[in-house]
């Protein structure tokens, strides 16, 4: 049996009982759990019985936005992708809210490092950093090449109208999290809506693909597992490419508490290298990417604003939430600038 009440949002007693019943033989000792730092949406915990480790994901506490935080969807994605050549943790169990008060799933623990801190990034020399950047892009391209029908995800989403729906969704969620007036954010949404590109392809998209959402083998520097699939759907792969680039170098100078910026660390290549690497794996036309970059800034700003809303209500768990609200205006400014900027 569990020996403590558990971290916030995870009552260990009921969880221990459920795991022993649903997965006999899994636990070989008392269950304990730790909240993983870094997650700013769904909550992620590492479970252990003193011998083995697993990961549990559940929605955030308090204000939960419509359509977000679907545990069943994440579990289904991992189950579909685990048999492919894409590195993902294998899911073990999905449960409803009757166990811990919220739906959750449990998956295998991916052994490696999440490179979230600058000091971690600095441990790689230039050659290793470049190789890691190449593999990060290679894994993304492999995801985009998967046939959704072949892996049982043909009904995961509706690719037609994806960009319009994404813009509408994040605009709605901004309205649901409204706590202050941000006219430039509204103007950015309006500019994006007036100039929607025509998607040239449809693929499984991760929705939040970036270096600190993958586990890296510290010995060889390759990607062990891709995490955080809560925004995945069928859609426009260029949206993933843009999001990856924005998290790679678009947050430079903002001192974001979410993750270090790889391109700020000596030895790491810039966005041009990532785009060239993706172009080697894909025939997609990257010319429309400025719009997608602007949308990536808009989406991150919307997410941060939602977290700012929850933080003001005292409904966030973890460190750094109180700082995200101040990053929204500069992100919006960079979104406006991206619409007019040429590709590197």
pLDDT mean over 165-194 = 91
Q: Determine phi and psi for 45, rounding to 5 degrees.
A: -125, 145
How high is the pLDDT of residue 1?
Answer: 57
Sign (positive or negative) of CA dihedral 129, 328, 213, 7: positive
- More reliable by pLDDT, 67 or 220: 220
The yes-or-no verdict on residue 216 having pLDDT over 50 is yes
How high is the pLDDT of residue 85?
Answer: 94
How high is the pLDDT of residue 209?
Answer: 97
Q: What is the overall mean pLDDT for the chain? A: 90
pLDDT mean over 174-184 = 86
pLDDT band at 220 (very low <50, low <70, confident <90, very high): confident
pLDDT mean over 105-113 = 96
How high is the pLDDT of residue 2?
Answer: 56
Residue ranges of domains in the chain, CATH in brackets = 12-108 (3.30.200.20), 118-340 (3.90.1200.10)
pLDDT mean over 223-246 = 95
Query: Does this model's pTM top 0.85?
Result: yes
How high is the pLDDT of residue 317?
Answer: 52
pLDDT mean over 171-176 = 89
pLDDT mean over 167-195 = 91
The yes-or-no verdict on residue 159 having pLDDT over 60 is yes
pLDDT mean over 173-192 = 90
How high is the pLDDT of residue 60?
Answer: 81
Q: Where is 203: in which H helix or E strand?
A: strand 203-205
302-338 pLDDT, tens digit per residue, is 999 988 877 666 655 556 667 888 999 999 999 999 9
pLDDT mean over 173-198 = 91
Please list the residues that pair with 43 across neighbouring strands: 58
- More reliable by pLDDT, 137 or 230: 137
How high is the pLDDT of residue 36?
Answer: 84
**First-to-last C-alpha distance (Å) of the chain:** 56
For residues 328 and 303, give the distance between their C-alpha atoms in angstroms, rounded to a whole number.
9
For residues 6 and 35, give the distance between their C-alpha atoms in angstroms, rounded to a whole number.
9
Q: Characterise 299 by phi-psi region: left (phi > 0), alpha (psi -120 to 50), beta (else).
A: alpha
The yes-or-no verdict on residue 276 having pLDDT over 70 is yes
pLDDT band at 172 (very low <50, low <70, confident <90, very high): very high
How high is the pLDDT of residue 226?
Answer: 97
How high is the pLDDT of residue 39?
Answer: 45
User: In terms of DSSP bridges, do strands 91-95 and 43-48 run parallel, antiparallel, or are they unpaired?
Assistant: unpaired
The yes-or-no verdict on residue 179 having pLDDT over 50 is yes
Rg over CA atoms, the chain:
20
54-108 pLDDT, tens digit per residue, is 999 998 876 444 444 689 999 999 999 999 999 999 999 999 999 999 999 999 9
The yes-or-no verdict on residue 121 having pLDDT over 90 is yes
- More reliable by pLDDT, 339 or 64: 339
């Amino acid at each position: 049996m569990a020996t403590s009440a558990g971290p916030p949002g995870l009552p260990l007693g009921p969880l221990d009982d459920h795991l022993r019943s649903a997965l006999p033989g899994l636990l070989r000792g008392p269950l304990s759990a730790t909240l993983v730092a870094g997650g700013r949406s769904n909550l992620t915990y590492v479970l252990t019985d003193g011998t083995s480790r697993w990961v549990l994901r559940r929605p955030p506490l308090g204000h939960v936005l419509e359509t977000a935080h679907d545990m069943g969807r994440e579990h289904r994605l991992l189950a579909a992708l685990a048999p492919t050549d894409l590195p993902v943790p294998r899911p073990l169990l999905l449960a409803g809210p009757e166990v811990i008060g919220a739906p959750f799933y449990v998956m295998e623990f991916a052994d490696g490092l999440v490179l979230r801190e600058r000091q971690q990034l600095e441990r790689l020399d230039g050659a290793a950093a470049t190789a890691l950047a190449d593999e990060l892009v290679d894994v993304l391209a492999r995801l985009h090449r998967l046939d959704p029908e072949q892996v049982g995800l043909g009904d995961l989403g509706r690719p037609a109208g994806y960009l319009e729906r994404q813009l509408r969704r994040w605009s709605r969620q901004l309205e649901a999290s409204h706590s202050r007036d941000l006219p430039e954010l509204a103007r950015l949404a309006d500019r994006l809506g007036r100039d929607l590109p025509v998607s040239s392809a449809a693929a499984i998209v991760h929705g939040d693909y970036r270096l600190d959402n993958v586990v890296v083998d510290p010995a060889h520097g390759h990607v062990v597992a891709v995490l955080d699939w809560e925004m995945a759907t069928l859609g426009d792969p260029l949206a993933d490419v843009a999001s990856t680039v924005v998290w790679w170098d678009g947050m430079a100078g903002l001192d974001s508490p979410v993750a270090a910026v790889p391109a700020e660390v000596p030895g790491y290549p810039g966005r041009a290298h990532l785009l060239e690497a993706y172009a080697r794996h894909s025939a997609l036309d990257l010319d429309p990417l400025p719009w997608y970059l602007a949308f990536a800034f808009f989406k991150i700003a919307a997410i941060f604003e939602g977290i700012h809303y929850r933080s003001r209500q005292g409904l966030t768990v973890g460190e750094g939430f109180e700082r995200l609200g101040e990053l929204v205006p500069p992100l919006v400014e960079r979104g406006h600038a991206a619409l007019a900027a040429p590709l590197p």
